[in-house]
Amino acid sequence: MEIYPAVDILDGRCVQLVQGRPEAATVYGDPAAWARRWLEEGADGLHVVNLDGAFGRAQKNADLIQAFTRETDAFVELGGGIRSVEDAAGWLEVDVDRVILSTLAVRSPDVIRTLADEFGSVRVMAGIDARGGEVMIEGWERPAGGYLSWAERFEDLGAGSLLYTNVDVEGLQQGIAITPVTDLLARARVPVVVSGGISSSGDVHALREAGAAGAVLGSALYAGKVRLSEAMEAAHAAE
């Protein structure tokens, strides 16, 4: 199981939000410095989110993100503001290893097949942001149907992996909700990376035991509630 620290970027700064609300942002400073720190501490890769893109300002932070992805050969997955095939292809051509398609995947599902055919399924991740079992799109504002049905559809279209975010617990630093994760893992045929609520090495251990391929650490990591070394140990512990 792999651990991906989140590097969420809003207005050029590394931030963490609570429940996806920009007005609830805690600012942590230079995104590139945090990216370097997490990689130096042994992270398996980086989970980069262009929050300005997610809120409709697609080109903001692009130069900043490209600058620090160019300087590392570490694995980088990126989401936020990808609204077209061209947006996704642009990122895949500038040192991003995998793009995360969320709202776009729901609005135009065939984009997954188009990108998988051109770049390979392994570089296309479908984002499943769910609240109460419903996929949420457009900055988690609009429900779009059951998360398990969308997971199956994304797989059928060629997504090489899924990012499941439990919006109900995201950013609260109060632990994961394991049942919706295990329900998804029981159905999924591709690797699933889990985000939302991961606040302890115990949460990481539970996800590994359930069969998750990876975990994204955000608010609890930045707040010091869980250390990256602890999460890595739980993720990589011998069976």
Supply the residues annotated as catalytic.
Answer: 8, 129
Q: Rounded to whole angstroms, how far apart are CA atoms 126 and 103? A: 9
Q: Rounded to whole angstroms, how far apart are CA atoms 218 and 197? A: 8
Mark out the alpha helices in the chain (DSSP H runs): 31-40, 51-54, 62-70, 85-92, 103-107, 110-119, 147-157, 178-187, 201-210, 219-222, 228-236
Of 26, 19, 23, 74, nearest in space to 48 by CA: 74
The 8 Å CB, 24+ separation contacts for 25-33 are 26/219, 26/222, 26/223, 28/222, 31/7, 31/64, 31/65, 31/68, 32/64, 32/67, 32/68
